[in-house]
Amino acid sequence: QNQKTKEQIESLLQNGKHKELRDRLCCRLTFGTAGLRSAMGAGFCYINDLTVIQSTQGIYKYLERCFSDFKQRGFVVGYDTRGQVTSNCSSKKLAKLTAAVLLARDVPVYFFSTYVPTPFVPYAVQQLKAVAGVMITASHNRKEDNGYKVYWENGAQITSPHDKEIIKCIEECVEPWNGSWNENLVDTSPLRQDPLKKICDCYMEDLKKICYHRELNIQTNLKFVHTSFHGVGHDYVQLAFKAFGFQPPIPVPEQKDPDPDFSTVKCPNPEEGESVLELSLRLAEKENAKVVVATDPDADRLAVAEQEENGCWKVFTGNELAALFGWWMFSCWKENCSEDADVKNVYMLATTVSSKILRAIALKEGFHFEETLPGFKWIGSRVKDLLDNGKEVLFAFEESIGFMCGTSVLDKDGVSAAVVIAEMATYLEGKNLTLAQKLIEIYETYGYHISKTSYFLCYDPPTIKRIFEKLRNFNAPQTYPKFCGIYNILHVRDITTGYDSSQPNKKSVLPVSKSSQMITFTFQNGCVATLRTSGTEPKIKYYAEMCALPEQSDRTVLEEELQKLIEALIENFLEPDKNGLIWRSA
């Protein structure tokens, strides 16, 4: 019933574009590391009115099977500010259709009356005791994309087997039901409630649980600049700063209001660093603000930059920020815990492609550190298990600037992370330290962890498959490489096949993930490197880290060694020229 997407298919048909028609119509969306994500437009593997209706019908069918009280407890729906004129698709419209499917089947729906940060949906699912929730967002992806992120009753993103079962249910009911197209139901149905005020108030109140220096925050002269990258973050970050006792951060005027075209940045991903932070850094210089916080368009991730003595800006990597957060959350816990609190009951988590710095801190301080597969859905589920078993989780992260401070939200949250960083900077200023200086202190105490993450673009799935299959059959069938250039490989772990040479039974401890490619190499020189495909974009990512002991404090030597190893990794294992890979633009 969407004229625009209907016209796209008719036009392809008239112009004899059969290959593109096949590409669009002969495969379905599948759940990646962040739910369903694809370009907006016509076709069964795109995000559009029909595929969102079909997905929601499948979810309805599955939830009806899983929960006898589904129609008492209800379902949460949130959305960001994305939109595309050419396919008449917007996050709000897709959210209305999601709600319509459920309302037409007499399911109570908590539908936010305006755009919200992604973390508000998992938070609302738990607060309102709903059975599940959906957020319509493609986070920091390019403007053409959108997505459909599903949260279970525990407030964590769905993992296996739910995702597989939902896909099966979707395939069983592809014909839209009566009422599924009625996007006006959210305005007329008595079963629709708006949870915005309640959830926003509760969230800001809960946030105060991780505020430890309110007096300092009230008094500080430090200024902060915040950019919301044309997305949802502005209002919510302002409220979060207020909850911590701060003056509001200075917004970047050109980027504070929603704009689905993200017109001032070449890509809406704050992870890309200084090139996309240009406007906020210039404003900070003008306003004499020393720290810039940037939330991505759906406000679940956070980038941070700090001005150095020489006037240049240091943009922290996700791994560097995690070192700071890990130190901070543990120090605050230690200062505020009861006398009988047991450090052995305390946990921090990271995904396996992220820095091992938390492991080093945990070993020295006596708390537990655990790793999960890439993707916050694995962290959220594991944290919930730990909490249910009486454990205390202080912090979790993934290197792609995703942070979870505290456990009010079981997903990454850029709003809470922004205000925690502000409090940390305020506290450190009182000790005459910058964030960058503290980071060096942390590395000198726990050992330098120097990491580099980047990617190649590859739009040809068979090429990607070939690259990884070559690594599994390197010099002979079913043998992995023993060397990478001059570097000796100690262990290989292949999450795709479940192999791990470091385990006595040669089986990986982390669950197998057949749908994506991921191989990790541990080198004799202490470097750990992982090659994997992205769950949300056409990328081959590489992650490499040198983990040194505290006494190995020559940073320059470690950096040079890491750089050489990465060059060997690219040249020997990825072979970009031969495979036609596109280098990430600087």
133 vs 35: CA distance, rounded Å: 12
Q: How many CA atoms lie within 13 A of 577 on its CB side?
A: 2
32 vs 192: CA distance, rounded Å: 29
Sheet holding 192-193, edge to edge: 36-39, 145-152, 132-136, 75-79, 109-111, 192-193
Which element (helix H / strand E) includes 153? none
138 vs 149: CA distance, rounded Å: 9
- Contact (CB, 8 A) for 484 and 569: yes
Torsions phi, psi for 182 (to 5 deg): -85, 85
227 vs 292: CA distance, rounded Å: 8
- Contact (CB, 8 A) for 347 and 367: yes
Distance of CA 295 to the CA centre of its chain: 12
Which element (helix H / strand E) includes 491? strand 487-494
Torsions phi, psi for 247 (to 5 deg): -65, 150
The three-class DSSP label of residue 292 is strand
24 vs 6: CA distance, rounded Å: 13
Torsions phi, psi for 353 (to 5 deg): -95, 5
40 vs 545: CA distance, rounded Å: 36
348 vs 370: CA distance, rounded Å: 7
What DSSP state is assigned to residue 502? Answer: T
Which is it for strands 346-351 and 368-372: parallel, antiparallel or unpaired?
Answer: parallel
Alpha-carbon separation of residue 285 from 265, 310, 313, 430 (angstroms): 19, 12, 10, 21
What positions carry a catalytic annotation?
139
Cβ partners under 8 Å of residue 207, min gap 6: 240, 243, 244, 408, 416, 419
For residue 266 the two structure tokens come to 């070449």
Q: Which amino acid is at 460?
A: D
Nearest alpha carbon to residue 132 among 181, 82, 61: 61
Which element (helix H / strand E) includes 266? none
Alpha helices (runs of H) in 399-500, residue ranges in sequence order: 414-430, 435-446, 461-472
315 vs 273: CA distance, rounded Å: 6
For residue 395 the two structure tokens come to 């912090």
Would you tell me how many other CB atoms lie within 10 Å of the CB of residue 280?
27
